[in-house]
Structure 1
Amino acid sequence: MEAEQPSLRERRRLQTRQELAQAAAELFTAQGVAATTAEQIAGRAGISLRTFYRHFRTKEEAIAPVLEIGAERWQAALRTVPVGEGWQTAVAGAVRAMLSPVGGTTEEGLELVRDLLVAAGEDRELADVWAVVNARSERELLAVMRERLPEAGHLTLALHSAAATAAIRVGLEAWAEGEAADDGGHPASSLAAQAYLRLSAGL
């Protein structure tokens, strides 16, 4: 059955969130989190402060849509995998594709995520947002796993979704720390895919 398309109102809401997230990310990386205010983020996005607070409770929370880079697209890619077929290979391939500049995102978008992860290493509030993003991604991925692996028990499904989410987190963080890939691919995608294959080897 074809997925229901979002309404015009929902599309506008998502667009506003993305504009605020982009503005927040650019300001945080340019002048630091402490020096950035919610007013500045709203102004850079051309949006009122009141509207900002309709979407986000804090200035740090505004970067969540940027940190969720590729999540919806790669989960959608997993939904196309035939039930029960080559799951680990499919997950690794989807992770690699969605974190590749030639796949699910852009080089500029990946670089922005890396800058934010570097900043999160020194800012607890940003680190907390990153943790929430990963927890939400794991929950959503678990639902996808249930669709594609109907015979698997809850423990197996939970381990698969935890492994995939942790792999993306670890891969991106390793790249932000300067880790290089050894297979010629983009470090973000290669490190995350390798991490997933290692983590899921015993599942």
Structure 2
Amino acid sequence: MTVVELGLRERKKAATRAALSRAAARLAVRRGVAAVTVEEIAAAAGVSPRTFHNYFPGKEEAIVAPLTDGAEAVIAGLRARPAGEPIWESLRRVVRDVLLPSGAGGGVDTETLALLRTVKADPSLVARQLCGLGEMQRRITEVIAGRTGTDPSRDLHPHLLAGAAGLALRTTVDLWADSGGTADLPALIDEAFERLRAGLPGP
């Protein structure tokens, strides 16, 4: 298989995963998690249930995937930032870019807001989301270690940075979602990372 063919294959797989996760999220928001089946998700995405299971072990993982599949974008963003840029600034900018793509205005889209509310109301989805975010944090830790010249097998530094950045991301998005999407998400992101950079001074 050539490099071009391999690239096309990987893009097709990514597109199929995205289609399945979007279908799962929309069905869960519309009908509730308990009423959604793998067969319905697969049909909505135009694939078979067998294909579904090539990408996700169950419907819960597919439903939360739009909220946990951002690792690649974060990793690519961190690698693209200037080498001499302070790591907190790099993390802040990357989180903003991932959460606020061009044209998103003051917040993420209404579908994501509805999905966040659905996930928060279902303990099984919260558990799956935390597992997915944990894997994202592990991968981001490795990139931060490369940027900071630390060893993730021995040093706390990259783990603490990745963990704090992940907490900032989750907290700001939760506050934004709890406000019904009316809070200023860019301002929340900036404040969260500035407070972390300053060592969490008192209010």
Q: Give the TM bin, normalised by the shorter chain.
A: 0.7 to 0.9
CA distance in 2, matches of 1:106, 1:34: 33
Deviations 1:68-122 (A, max 9, x none): 354422321211233353221221122122211427x799963322212211222
* TM-aligned CA deviation for residue 38 of structure 1: 0.9
Q: How far apart are residue 67 of structure 1 and its match?
A: 0.9
Aligned to 2:34, what secondary structure does the other structure show? coil
User: What's 1:128 paired with?
Assistant: 127
How many equivalent pairs are there? 194
Q: 1:12 Cα shift? A: 2.0
Calculate the TM-score normalised by the size of structure 1: 0.83
Task: Check conservation: 2:25, 2:64, Cα contact below 8 A.
Answer: no
1: CA distance, partners of 2:81 / 2:106: 26
Matched residue of 1:82: which SS? coil
Give the unaligned 5+ runs of structure 1: none
- The code of the aligned residue for 1:123 comes to D
Name the CA distance, whole Å, in 2 between partners of 1:40 and 1:168: 32
2:194 alignment partner, one of 178, 182, 197: 197
Q: Match of 1:40, SS? A: helix
**Residues 108 and 195 of structure 1: is their aligned pair in 2 closer, same or farther, counting only changes over 3 Å?**
closer
Which ranges of structure 2 fall in alignment gaps of 5 or more residues? none
- The amino acid that maps onto 1:115 is A
Query: Take 2:78 and 2:155, find their aligned partners in 1: how far apart are those partners?
Result: 18
The aligned counterpart of 1:74 is 74
CA contact (8 A) 1:163 1:200 kept: no
Partner amino acid for 2:170? R
SS at match of 2:82: coil
Partner of 2:87: 87
> Which TM-score applies when normalising by structure 2?
0.83
Matched residue type, 1:191: L
Separation (CA, whole Å) in 2 of partners of 1:154 and 1:166: 19
Structure 2 CA distance, aligned partners of 1:106 and 1:58?
33
Q: Residues 96 and 192 of structure 1 are in contact (CA less than 8 Å); yes or no, is this contact kept in structure 2?
A: yes
The answer to whether 1:143 aligns with 2:142 is yes
Q: Which residue number corresponds to residue 30 of structure 1?
A: 30
Matched residues in 2 for 1:87 and 1:35: separation?
A: 44
Q: Distance in 2 between matches of 1:58 and 1:106?
A: 33
On the 8 A contact 1:20/1:45 being kept in 2, the answer is: yes
The structure with the greater share of residues assigned to helix is 2
Change (3 A) 1:64 1:9: farther
CA distance in 2, matches of 1:69, 1:55: 12
**Retained in 2: the 8 A contact 1:82–1:148?**
no
